[in-house]
Structure 1
Amino acid sequence: MTDLRKFLILIAAGGSAAVLLGAIGSQYIGGLAPCHLCILQRWPHAAAVLIGALALAFRARLLPLLGAIAALTTSGIGVYHTGVERGWWEGPTTCTSGPIGGMSTEDLLNQIMSAPLVRCDEVAWQFLGLSMASWNALISLGLALIWIAAWRRTA
């Protein structure tokens, strides 16, 4: 295994580990409860960390490509979540608010009682005008490029 390939894999998998630890830290230390889409964005990062460990142990050409797919997956979910937060499109009905017109009082009460405590269409934290979902999308896109560079180094 070339040293550059190993270094790129370490950076890409380490980046996913850092993002994942940051998300978990913001939840348990910072008190920011994750919504449904936030949780979905964590799984591909966990997969990328596992893929990174496997790619360092085995010289399989496919592993860095799978790491790139994992990073692109969480980036895509981050873009989707950003659109939900900004009102560009509707999010999943399980974690966003919807219209209440034409609902009976009982149906409205049932909707309120079954609604999650954390909504996907509200920004809980932002930095430089970008939400956590937006930062995840951008960082994960960069990680995908690093994974692709590692894949290209596998001859």
Structure 2
Amino acid sequence: MKFFDWYFGAPRRALALICVACIAMLAFGMYLQHVVGLEPCPMCVVQRYALVLVAVFTGLGAASGSKALRIATILTALVVAVGGAYTAASQSWLQWYPPEVVSCGRDIYGMIETFPLQRALPMIFRGAGDCSQIDWTFLGLSIANWSFIAFTGFGLALLVLLARSFRRPPIRPALKTVR
């Protein structure tokens, strides 16, 4: 319980730790791409953007002295974390149940440049052949599985921070004066 109190007792510290965790995940993704040679699929790119946004909003919340701004950044980061978790869950589903016809479709930038956004987004979440491919695992879980776990953890931590932000401070008993 001491860790829980230490972590959630100081919301700026908790937000800073979430920001650092997102940056570490992004750095590991860059390592996998540029050193190991794994190319990210469209859903991986969306998850990277979600990590960047969660890092930015939690970093802003950690740097902010204003409670209202901190609540706004927590709420925004929570919405982005839910979107990242949804994308990771969709990719995990594709990996567990790959499509019958595997075709390596366009990359995310080609989809967005060619099609309007209302048509490109469903194409991204439908996934291409490379979104269902598992190139790397750790402890039997793919990158998408680990991303889902991380986004879910971030979301739960942000929910607790949000709930604690609306809590009233405890009323302290008045000191008795001696006459």
Return the TM-score normalized by structure 2.
0.66
SS at match of 2:39: coil
Specify which of 8, 14, 18 is matched with residue 14 of structure 2.
Answer: 8
1:82 aligns to 2:92 (yes or no): yes
Alignment CA distance shift 1:92-1:134 (3 Å): farther
**Maintained 8 Å contact 1:75/1:136:** yes
Please, which runs of 5 or more residues in structure 2 have no aligned partner?
Answer: 1-7, 107-128, 167-179
SS at match of 1:149: helix
- Listed as ranges, the matches of 1:66-77 within 5 Å are 66-77=76-87
1:28: Cα distance to partner? 0.9
Alignment CA distance shift 1:132-1:94 (3 Å): same
* Structure that is richer in helix per residue: 2
Equivalent-residue separation in structure 2 for 1:149 and 1:10 (angstroms): 15
1:122 aligns to 2:133 (yes or no): yes
Q: Which amino acid aligns with 2:43?
A: L
SS at match of 1:153: helix
Mark the structure with the bigger radius of gyration: 2
1:150 aligned residue:
161
Q: Which has the higher contact order (CA 8 A, sep 6+)?
A: 1
1:65 aligned residue:
75
Equivalent residues, number: 133
Q: Comparing 15-24 with 82-91, which one deviates more in the overlay?
A: 82-91
1:54 aligned residue:
60
Equivalent-residue separation in structure 2 for 1:144 and 1:89 (angstroms): 29
Specify which of 17, 38, 46 is matched with residue 23 of structure 2.
Answer: 17
1:81: Cα distance to partner? 0.3
SS at match of 1:122: coil
Alignment CA distance shift 1:140-1:19 (3 Å): same
Return the TM-score normalized by structure 1.
0.75
1:39 aligned residue:
45
Q: Which amino acid aligns with 2:79?
A: I
Q: Deviations over 1:98-149 (max 9, x none)?
A: xxxxxxxxxxxxxxxxxxxx71111011122211001100111001111222
Q: Which amino acid aligns with 1:63?
A: T
Q: Which amino acid aligns with 1:124?
A: D
1:137 aligned residue:
148
**Maintained 8 Å contact 2:104/2:130:** no
